[in-house]
Protein backbone atom coordinates (compact mmCIF):
# COMPACT_ATOMS: atom_id res chain seq x y z
CA UNK A 1 0.00 0.00 0.00
CA UNK A 2 2.85 2.37 0.78
CA UNK A 3 4.39 1.75 -2.68
CA UNK A 4 1.02 2.37 -4.42
CA UNK A 5 0.64 5.63 -2.51
CA UNK A 6 4.15 6.71 -3.52
CA UNK A 7 3.42 6.02 -7.21
CA UNK A 8 0.20 8.04 -7.12
CA UNK A 9 1.96 10.99 -5.48
CA UNK A 10 4.67 10.83 -8.15
CA UNK A 11 2.08 10.82 -10.94
CA UNK A 12 0.19 13.75 -9.43
CA UNK A 13 3.46 15.64 -9.10
CA UNK A 14 4.20 15.03 -12.79
CA UNK A 15 0.75 16.28 -13.83
CA UNK A 16 1.23 19.42 -11.76
CA UNK A 17 4.60 20.09 -13.43
CA UNK A 18 3.12 19.67 -16.90
CA UNK A 19 -0.02 21.69 -16.32
CA UNK A 20 1.75 24.38 -14.31
CA UNK A 21 -0.70 24.49 -11.44
CA UNK A 22 -2.13 22.29 -8.73
CA UNK A 23 -4.33 19.42 -9.83
CA UNK A 24 -7.20 20.07 -7.44
CA UNK A 25 -9.05 16.87 -6.40
CA UNK A 26 -6.32 14.90 -8.18
CA UNK A 27 -6.48 12.29 -5.44
CA UNK A 28 -10.01 11.44 -6.62
CA UNK A 29 -8.91 10.44 -10.14
CA UNK A 30 -9.44 6.85 -11.13
CA UNK A 31 -6.36 4.79 -11.74
CA UNK A 32 -5.25 5.13 -15.36
CA UNK A 33 -7.26 8.30 -16.01
CA UNK A 34 -5.48 11.04 -17.98
CA UNK A 35 -6.64 14.64 -17.43
CA UNK A 36 -8.01 16.33 -20.55
CA UNK A 37 -5.39 19.06 -20.32
CA UNK A 38 -2.65 16.64 -21.29
CA UNK A 39 -4.62 14.36 -23.61
CA UNK A 40 -4.11 16.60 -26.64
CA UNK A 41 -0.49 16.88 -27.76
CA UNK A 42 1.02 20.34 -28.17
CA UNK A 43 2.16 20.52 -31.81
CA UNK A 44 4.33 23.54 -31.15
CA UNK A 45 6.39 21.62 -28.60
CA UNK A 46 6.25 18.33 -30.49
CA UNK A 47 7.53 19.81 -33.74
CA UNK A 48 9.53 22.76 -32.37
CA UNK A 49 7.29 25.27 -34.13
CA UNK A 50 6.74 28.97 -33.53
CA UNK A 51 3.54 29.47 -31.53
CA UNK A 52 2.19 31.87 -34.13
CA UNK A 53 1.98 29.00 -36.65
CA UNK A 54 -1.60 28.02 -37.44
CA UNK A 55 -2.82 24.43 -37.06
CA UNK A 56 -5.23 23.53 -39.87
CA UNK A 57 -5.56 19.84 -39.14
CA UNK A 58 -4.19 17.29 -36.69
CA UNK A 59 -5.19 14.07 -38.46
CA UNK A 60 -2.92 14.27 -40.36
CA UNK A 61 -0.86 17.24 -39.15
CA UNK A 62 -1.09 20.31 -41.34
CA UNK A 63 0.32 23.56 -39.99
CA UNK A 64 1.10 26.81 -41.80
CA UNK A 65 3.10 29.98 -41.14
CA UNK A 66 1.95 33.57 -41.39
CA UNK A 67 3.61 36.00 -43.78
CA UNK A 68 5.60 37.88 -41.13
CA UNK A 69 7.01 34.59 -39.80
CA UNK A 70 8.70 33.95 -43.15
CA UNK A 71 10.99 36.99 -43.01
CA UNK A 72 14.24 34.97 -42.76
CA UNK A 73 16.19 34.50 -45.98
CA UNK A 74 16.64 30.83 -45.07
CA UNK A 75 13.50 29.53 -43.40
CA UNK A 76 14.30 28.03 -39.98
CA UNK A 77 12.69 24.77 -38.91
CA UNK A 78 10.46 26.58 -36.41
CA UNK A 79 8.64 28.38 -39.25
CA UNK A 80 8.42 25.68 -41.91
CA UNK A 81 4.90 24.56 -42.76
CA UNK A 82 3.85 20.94 -42.25
CA UNK A 83 1.82 19.19 -44.93
CA UNK A 84 1.22 15.54 -44.19
CA UNK A 85 -1.14 13.06 -45.83
CA UNK A 86 -0.79 10.12 -43.47
CA UNK A 87 0.60 9.17 -40.08
CA UNK A 88 4.21 9.97 -39.29
CA UNK A 89 6.36 6.83 -39.19
CA UNK A 90 7.68 5.78 -35.78
CA UNK A 91 10.74 3.98 -34.45
CA UNK A 92 13.00 4.93 -37.33
CA UNK A 93 16.49 3.49 -37.11
CA UNK A 94 18.73 5.20 -39.68
CA UNK A 95 21.17 2.26 -39.55
CA UNK A 96 18.43 0.00 -40.93
CA UNK A 97 17.05 2.50 -43.44
CA UNK A 98 17.23 1.48 -47.08
CA UNK A 99 16.29 3.04 -50.38
CA UNK A 100 15.20 0.71 -53.18
CA UNK A 101 15.47 1.77 -56.83
CA UNK A 102 13.13 -0.36 -58.95
CA UNK A 103 10.44 -0.04 -61.61
CA UNK A 104 9.84 -1.18 -65.18
CA UNK A 105 12.62 1.05 -66.49
CA UNK A 106 15.45 0.38 -64.06
CA UNK A 107 18.38 -1.56 -65.54
CA UNK A 108 19.19 -3.26 -62.23
CA UNK A 109 17.04 -3.14 -59.11
CA UNK A 110 19.28 -1.87 -56.33
CA UNK A 111 19.07 -1.28 -52.60
CA UNK A 112 21.14 1.38 -50.83
CA UNK A 113 21.56 1.90 -47.12
CA UNK A 114 21.63 5.45 -45.83
CA UNK A 115 25.37 5.07 -45.33
CA UNK A 116 25.73 3.85 -48.94
CA UNK A 117 24.10 7.04 -50.17
CA UNK A 118 26.20 9.26 -47.93
CA UNK A 119 29.50 7.55 -48.69
CA UNK A 120 29.17 6.58 -52.35
CA UNK A 121 27.82 9.78 -53.88
CA UNK A 122 28.96 13.41 -53.80
CA UNK A 123 27.05 15.69 -51.43
CA UNK A 124 25.31 18.84 -52.65
CA UNK A 125 23.61 21.69 -50.81
CA UNK A 126 20.89 23.89 -52.33
CA UNK A 127 18.41 26.36 -50.99
CA UNK A 128 15.10 25.28 -52.54
CA UNK A 129 11.63 26.80 -52.53
CA UNK A 130 8.87 24.34 -51.65
CA UNK A 131 5.25 25.45 -51.82
CA UNK A 132 2.10 23.42 -51.32
CA UNK A 133 0.05 23.30 -54.53
CA UNK A 134 -2.99 24.34 -52.46
CA UNK A 135 -1.36 27.37 -50.84
CA UNK A 136 -3.97 30.15 -51.05
CA UNK A 137 -6.86 27.70 -51.44
CA UNK A 138 -8.93 29.53 -48.79
CA UNK A 139 -9.65 32.37 -51.22
CA UNK A 140 -11.38 30.33 -53.93
CA UNK A 141 -15.13 30.66 -54.35
CA UNK A 142 -16.92 28.28 -54.64
CA UNK A 143 -14.72 26.85 -51.90
CA UNK A 144 -12.50 23.92 -52.76
CA UNK A 145 -12.26 20.91 -50.45
CA UNK A 146 -9.07 20.38 -48.49
CA UNK A 147 -7.00 22.25 -45.96
CA UNK A 148 -7.80 25.93 -46.21
CA UNK A 149 -4.25 27.20 -46.61
CA UNK A 150 -3.94 30.98 -46.63
CA UNK A 151 -0.43 32.16 -47.59
CA UNK A 152 1.92 30.30 -45.28
CA UNK A 153 2.44 26.94 -47.02
CA UNK A 154 5.76 27.94 -48.53
CA UNK A 155 9.34 27.96 -47.32
CA UNK A 156 12.90 28.03 -48.60
CA UNK A 157 15.24 25.94 -46.46
CA UNK A 158 18.76 24.71 -47.20
CA UNK A 159 18.91 21.02 -48.13
CA UNK A 160 21.94 18.74 -48.25
CA UNK A 161 21.98 15.35 -49.90
CA UNK A 162 22.95 13.48 -53.05
CA UNK A 163 21.62 14.09 -56.54
CA UNK A 164 18.80 11.76 -57.49
CA UNK A 165 20.24 11.48 -60.97
CA UNK A 166 23.53 10.11 -59.62
CA UNK A 167 21.67 7.33 -57.79
CA UNK A 168 19.35 6.55 -60.71
CA UNK A 169 22.27 6.42 -63.14
CA UNK A 170 24.14 4.13 -60.77
CA UNK A 171 21.21 1.70 -60.93
CA UNK A 172 20.83 2.25 -64.67
CA UNK A 173 17.99 3.90 -66.58
CA UNK A 174 16.40 2.16 -69.55
CA UNK A 175 15.69 4.16 -72.71
CA UNK A 176 11.91 3.90 -72.22
CA UNK A 177 11.93 5.70 -68.84
CA UNK A 178 9.52 8.64 -68.69
CA UNK A 179 8.77 9.20 -64.99
CA UNK A 180 9.84 8.43 -61.44
CA UNK A 181 7.47 7.72 -58.56
CA UNK A 182 8.34 7.65 -54.87
CA UNK A 183 7.12 5.44 -52.05
CA UNK A 184 7.54 6.19 -48.37
CA UNK A 185 7.24 4.87 -44.83
CA UNK A 186 4.29 6.91 -43.61
CA UNK A 187 1.03 5.09 -42.85
CA UNK A 188 -2.41 5.61 -44.38
CA UNK A 189 -4.84 7.27 -41.96
CA UNK A 190 -6.93 4.09 -41.99
CA UNK A 191 -3.95 2.12 -40.70
CA UNK A 192 -4.29 -0.24 -43.67
CA UNK A 193 -0.69 -1.15 -44.64
CA UNK A 194 -1.79 -1.96 -48.20
CA UNK A 195 -2.73 1.69 -48.80
CA UNK A 196 -0.25 4.51 -49.38
CA UNK A 197 -1.15 8.03 -48.11
CA UNK A 198 0.62 9.57 -51.09
CA UNK A 199 2.94 8.36 -53.87
CA UNK A 200 3.74 11.04 -56.38
CA UNK A 201 6.60 11.70 -58.77
CA UNK A 202 7.85 13.71 -61.71
CA UNK A 203 8.97 13.30 -65.34
CA UNK A 204 12.55 12.17 -65.96
CA UNK A 205 13.84 15.63 -67.00
CA UNK A 206 12.87 16.99 -63.56
CA UNK A 207 14.23 13.90 -61.79
CA UNK A 208 17.57 14.37 -63.57
CA UNK A 209 18.02 18.05 -62.73
CA UNK A 210 21.08 18.89 -60.64
CA UNK A 211 18.90 20.39 -57.89
CA UNK A 212 16.61 17.37 -57.45
CA UNK A 213 18.20 15.64 -54.48
CA UNK A 214 17.76 12.89 -51.95
CA UNK A 215 18.27 14.97 -48.83
CA UNK A 216 19.37 13.85 -45.38
CA UNK A 217 19.98 17.30 -43.89
CA UNK A 218 17.80 20.39 -43.58
CA UNK A 219 19.48 23.66 -42.58
CA UNK A 220 22.69 21.83 -41.70
CA UNK A 221 21.19 19.23 -39.38
CA UNK A 222 19.37 15.92 -39.67
CA UNK A 223 15.95 16.50 -41.19
CA UNK A 224 13.36 16.71 -38.37
CA UNK A 225 11.11 13.65 -38.26
CA UNK A 226 7.99 15.61 -39.21
CA UNK A 227 9.76 16.88 -42.34
CA UNK A 228 10.95 13.50 -43.61
CA UNK A 229 13.79 12.09 -41.48
CA UNK A 230 15.96 10.27 -42.41
CA UNK A 231 15.60 10.70 -46.20
CA UNK A 232 13.52 13.04 -48.30
CA UNK A 233 13.20 13.65 -52.01
CA UNK A 234 13.43 17.41 -52.64
CA UNK A 235 12.38 18.84 -56.02
CA UNK A 236 12.25 22.62 -55.69
CA UNK A 237 9.95 24.80 -57.78
CA UNK A 238 7.27 22.13 -58.18
CA UNK A 239 4.33 21.41 -55.84
CA UNK A 240 5.87 20.33 -52.54
CA UNK A 241 3.94 17.06 -52.80
CA UNK A 242 6.59 15.94 -55.31
CA UNK A 243 9.18 16.24 -52.53
CA UNK A 244 8.26 13.00 -50.76
CA UNK A 245 9.10 12.55 -47.07
CA UNK A 246 10.46 9.35 -45.46
CA UNK A 247 11.33 8.02 -48.92
CA UNK A 248 12.34 4.34 -49.01
CA UNK A 249 11.67 3.40 -52.64
CA UNK A 250 11.84 5.15 -55.99
CA UNK A 251 10.48 3.51 -59.09
CA UNK A 252 11.69 4.39 -62.57
CA UNK A 253 8.56 4.13 -64.66
CA UNK A 254 7.90 3.59 -68.36
CA UNK A 255 4.65 5.54 -68.00
CA UNK A 256 3.34 8.46 -65.97
CA UNK A 257 3.47 7.34 -62.35
CA UNK A 258 0.05 6.13 -61.21
CA UNK A 259 0.53 6.21 -57.44
CA UNK A 260 -1.84 7.65 -54.85
CA UNK A 261 -2.69 11.32 -55.55
CA UNK A 262 -1.18 11.13 -59.04
CA UNK A 263 -4.52 10.37 -60.70
CA UNK A 264 -8.02 11.87 -60.85
CA UNK A 265 -8.16 15.51 -59.75
CA UNK A 266 -5.27 15.39 -57.25
CA UNK A 267 -2.66 18.06 -57.95
CA UNK A 268 -4.27 18.76 -61.31
CA UNK A 269 -5.97 21.80 -62.76
CA UNK A 270 -8.29 22.09 -65.77
CA UNK A 271 -6.24 22.01 -68.98
CA UNK A 272 -8.40 24.90 -70.19
CA UNK A 273 -10.07 27.65 -68.09
CA UNK A 274 -13.50 26.84 -66.65
CA UNK A 275 -16.24 28.85 -64.96
CA UNK A 276 -16.27 28.82 -61.13
CA UNK A 277 -18.06 25.71 -59.87
CA UNK A 278 -18.02 23.95 -63.24
CA UNK A 279 -17.49 20.18 -63.14
CA UNK A 280 -14.43 19.02 -65.04
CA UNK A 281 -13.86 15.52 -66.40
CA UNK A 282 -10.74 13.74 -65.13
CA UNK A 283 -9.41 13.49 -68.67
CA UNK A 284 -9.62 17.28 -68.96
CA UNK A 285 -7.37 17.83 -65.93
CA UNK A 286 -3.60 18.36 -66.33
CA UNK A 287 -0.88 17.57 -63.78
CA UNK A 288 0.67 20.61 -62.07
CA UNK A 289 4.37 20.89 -62.78
CA UNK A 290 6.28 24.15 -62.26
CA UNK A 291 4.65 26.48 -59.72
CA UNK A 292 3.60 29.97 -60.90
CA UNK A 293 5.32 33.29 -60.15
CA UNK A 294 4.47 34.60 -56.70
CA UNK A 295 5.67 36.91 -53.91
CA UNK A 296 5.12 37.59 -50.24
CA UNK A 297 5.63 40.72 -48.13
CA UNK A 298 7.23 39.50 -44.92
CA UNK A 299 7.95 42.88 -43.32
CA UNK A 300 6.17 44.74 -41.89
CA UNK A 301 3.26 42.72 -40.58
CA UNK A 302 -0.13 43.71 -41.98
CA UNK A 303 -1.75 46.36 -39.78
CA UNK A 304 1.45 48.37 -39.40
CA UNK A 305 1.30 52.08 -38.57
CA UNK A 306 3.83 54.73 -39.55
CA UNK A 307 4.18 58.41 -38.75
CA UNK A 308 3.31 60.82 -41.55
CA UNK A 309 6.39 61.98 -43.44
CA UNK A 310 8.41 58.84 -42.72
CA UNK A 311 9.30 56.21 -45.32
CA UNK A 312 8.02 52.64 -44.87
CA UNK A 313 10.61 50.00 -45.57
CA UNK A 314 9.17 46.75 -46.88
CA UNK A 315 10.83 43.45 -47.72
CA UNK A 316 9.87 39.95 -48.75
CA UNK A 317 10.52 37.05 -51.10
CA UNK A 318 9.54 36.17 -54.66
CA UNK A 319 9.81 32.93 -56.60
CA UNK A 320 8.74 31.58 -59.99
CA UNK A 321 8.85 27.78 -60.08
CA UNK A 322 11.43 26.71 -62.66
CA UNK A 323 12.07 30.31 -63.67
CA UNK A 324 13.55 33.35 -61.97
CA UNK A 325 11.80 36.55 -60.98
CA UNK A 326 12.85 39.30 -63.37
CA UNK A 327 10.96 42.25 -61.85
CA UNK A 328 9.37 43.12 -58.53
CA UNK A 329 6.95 46.00 -57.99
CA UNK A 330 4.69 47.48 -55.32
CA UNK A 331 1.54 49.56 -55.49
CA UNK A 332 -0.14 51.73 -52.83
CA UNK A 333 -3.14 52.76 -54.98
CA UNK A 334 -4.83 49.38 -55.47
CA UNK A 335 -2.87 48.49 -58.58
CA UNK A 336 -3.43 51.71 -60.54
CA UNK A 337 0.31 52.45 -60.65
CA UNK A 338 3.36 50.37 -59.82
CA UNK A 339 6.85 51.22 -58.55
CA UNK A 340 9.88 49.00 -58.98
CA UNK A 341 11.43 47.28 -55.95
CA UNK A 342 15.04 46.17 -55.74
CA UNK A 343 15.41 42.41 -56.03
CA UNK A 344 18.36 40.11 -55.43
CA UNK A 345 19.44 37.19 -57.59
CA UNK A 346 18.74 33.73 -56.15
CA UNK A 347 21.59 32.06 -54.23
CA UNK A 348 21.09 29.11 -56.56
CA UNK A 349 18.51 27.99 -59.10
CA UNK A 350 15.06 27.32 -57.57
CA UNK A 351 15.74 29.42 -54.43
CA UNK A 352 13.46 32.32 -53.67
CA UNK A 353 14.69 35.90 -54.18
CA UNK A 354 14.58 38.78 -51.73
CA UNK A 355 13.06 42.16 -52.53
CA UNK A 356 12.89 45.46 -50.70
CA UNK A 357 11.62 48.99 -51.17
CA UNK A 358 11.24 52.26 -49.29
CA UNK A 359 7.79 53.79 -49.69
CA UNK A 360 6.62 57.40 -49.44
CA UNK A 361 2.95 58.03 -48.68
CA UNK A 362 1.30 61.30 -49.83
CA UNK A 363 -0.83 61.95 -46.73
CA UNK A 364 -2.24 60.39 -43.59
CA UNK A 365 -4.81 57.63 -43.95
CA UNK A 366 -5.33 53.97 -44.72
CA UNK A 367 -3.31 52.26 -47.48
CA UNK A 368 -2.73 48.81 -48.83
CA UNK A 369 0.70 47.82 -50.12
CA UNK A 370 0.43 45.29 -52.92
CA UNK A 371 3.39 43.26 -54.22
CA UNK A 372 3.69 41.92 -57.76
CA UNK A 373 6.40 39.70 -59.22
CA UNK A 374 7.07 39.12 -62.92
CA UNK A 375 8.99 36.06 -64.13
CA UNK A 376 11.59 35.78 -66.89
CA UNK A 377 8.84 34.82 -69.36
CA UNK A 378 7.25 38.23 -68.62
CA UNK A 379 4.32 36.62 -66.81
CA UNK A 380 3.17 38.70 -63.82
CA UNK A 381 1.12 37.76 -60.79
CA UNK A 382 -2.61 38.53 -61.20
CA UNK A 383 -3.86 41.34 -59.00
CA UNK A 384 -6.90 39.30 -57.97
CA UNK A 385 -7.75 35.60 -57.67
CA UNK A 386 -6.62 33.62 -60.72
CA UNK A 387 -8.73 31.06 -62.58
CA UNK A 388 -10.96 28.93 -60.34
CA UNK A 389 -10.26 25.21 -60.30
CA UNK A 390 -12.01 22.33 -58.49
CA UNK A 391 -9.23 21.65 -55.98
CA UNK A 392 -8.21 25.23 -55.34
CA UNK A 393 -4.62 25.05 -56.58
CA UNK A 394 -2.12 27.70 -57.72
CA UNK A 395 -3.56 30.86 -56.19
CA UNK A 396 -0.76 33.32 -56.92
CA UNK A 397 -2.72 36.57 -56.55
CA UNK A 398 -0.76 39.60 -55.34
CA UNK A 399 -0.06 39.61 -51.63
CA UNK A 400 -1.03 42.77 -49.79
CA UNK A 401 -0.70 44.30 -46.35
CA UNK A 402 -2.68 47.05 -44.63
CA UNK A 403 -0.82 50.17 -43.48
CA UNK A 404 -2.07 53.23 -41.61
CA UNK A 405 -0.21 56.54 -41.84
CA UNK A 406 -0.90 58.70 -38.77
Dump pLDDT digits (tens) for 129-181: 999 999 999 999 999 999 999 999 999 999 999 999 999 999 999 999 999 99
% pLDDT > 90, the chain: 86
Mean per-residue pLDDT over the chain, rounded = 93
> What is the pTM for the complete model shown?
0.89
**pLDDT score, position 20:** 67
341 torsion bin: left (phi>0), alpha (psi -120 to 50), beta (else): beta
Q: How would you class 163 by CB atoms within 10 Å of its CB: exposed for 0-12, middle for 13-18, buried for 19 or more?
A: buried
pLDDT of residue 228: 97
What's the CA gap between 177 and 304, in Å, rounded? 53
Confidence label for 4 from pLDDT (cuts 50, 70 and 90): very low
How high is the pLDDT of residue 162?
98
Long-range contacts of 273-281 (CB under 8 A, 24+ apart): 273/387, 274/387, 274/388, 274/389, 275/388, 276/141, 276/142, 276/388, 277/142, 277/388, 279/390, 280/389, 280/390
Show Cβ contacts of residue 115 under 8 Å, excluding neighbours closer than 6 positions. 95
CA dist 62 → 40, 87, 181, 225, 405 (Å): 15, 11, 23, 14, 36
Q: What is the mean pLDDT of residues 14-37?
A: 71
Measure Cα distances from 328 to 232, 270, 341, 368 in Å.
32, 28, 5, 17
pLDDT digits (tens, 9 = 90+) for 354-370: 999 999 999 999 999 99
With CA atoms as reference, report the closest residue to 262 among 287, 298, 281: 287
Amino acid sequence: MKRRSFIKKTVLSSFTAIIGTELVFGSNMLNGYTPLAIQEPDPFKMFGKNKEMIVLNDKPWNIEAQAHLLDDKITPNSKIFIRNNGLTPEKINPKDWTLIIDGESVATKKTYTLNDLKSKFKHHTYQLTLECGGNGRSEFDPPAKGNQWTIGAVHCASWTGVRLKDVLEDAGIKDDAVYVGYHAADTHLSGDPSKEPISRGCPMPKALQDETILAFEMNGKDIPLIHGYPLRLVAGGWPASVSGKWVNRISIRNKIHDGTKMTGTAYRIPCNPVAPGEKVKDEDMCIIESMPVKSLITYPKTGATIDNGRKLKIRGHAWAGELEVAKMEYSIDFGSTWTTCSIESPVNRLAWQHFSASIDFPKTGYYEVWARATDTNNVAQPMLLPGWNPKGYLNNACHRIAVKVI
